[in-house]
Homo-oligomer: A and B are copies of this chain.
């Protein structure tokens, strides 16, 4: 049945290659053929040949000395196409710059993809950089301010249930793990027009996010400011929220929202 993309209907050697690409992580940006063979359950000659093919097209790079592979710059080239061809990306850059200036903290723009938040755009503040997030990084929906905003305004009611179904895993002592509490908080976020996360995803890190609308009135992205709790204490959340909401509405206006 064509409508359902069953595994049996896919090209297995292409899937192998894509699984290899997806196995690279920030924590493990270098991989050996033998390690991939074990972790993916593929024969080492299969991995070796697949890697050679990926390398020939610049999707991976083989260090001639260590024989380890890294992701290649063809990926960076393609990613430039992914985000710069998105209207919301282009329309948000100046506003993110201004928001970082007025709040003094890092700002980013994110959307939902595959039951997660993914960061499209990030502007760093002038404080020492700690790399809490990066463009392309995925984070959970239920315990990040951006994620909660996107959940709160999502028109697909099924999405929240799927996220809950997947499990609300605890990251810090502040993580919301009770589905009912999450539902209540999402209603509150709809009322307030913004969300915040107080150390819900990462110890010591707070963030505040507001929805970005498109011309049809659909929420298509979340704009957020993120920083250490010392610089974003509870008392400042309301003030920062006003700035984030204003900036988000600026982007929304550029997207044709009225």
Contact = CB atoms under 8 A, between A and B. Distances in A.
A236 interface: no
Contact of A79 (B13, B124, B135): B135
Interface in A19-68: 19, 21-22, 24-26, 29, 49-50, 52-59
Contacts of A129: 90, 93-94
A21 B81 CA distance: 11
A118 interface: yes
B74 A22 contact: yes
Interface size for chain A: under 10, 10 to 19, 20 to 34, or 35 or more residues? 35 or more
A159 interface: no
Nearest to A58: B114
A26 B77 CA distance: 10
A97 interface: yes
A204 interface: no
Contact of A80 (B22, B78, B137): B137
A250 to B, nearest CB: 14
Contacts of A19: 57
A28 B7 CA distance: 29
A152 interface: no
Interface in A63-96: 70-85, 90, 93-94
A221 B78 CA distance: 20
Contacts of A118: 73, 76-77
Contacts of A59: 18
A9 interface: yes
A172 B53 CA distance: 37
A1 interface: no
A58 B222 CA distance: 21
Contacts of A85: 26, 29, 70
A90 B85 CA distance: 25
25 contacts: A5-B55, A10-B56, A14-B14, A14-B16, A14-B50, A14-B54, A18-B57, A19-B57, A24-B78, A25-B81, A26-B80, A29-B81, A58-B113, A70-B85, A75-B82, A76-B83, A76-B135, A77-B136, A77-B137, A78-B79, A79-B82, A84-B131, A90-B129, A94-B124, A94-B128
Given A18-B74, A94-B126, 5 more contacts: A5-B56, A13-B14, A15-B56, A76-B136, A93-B124
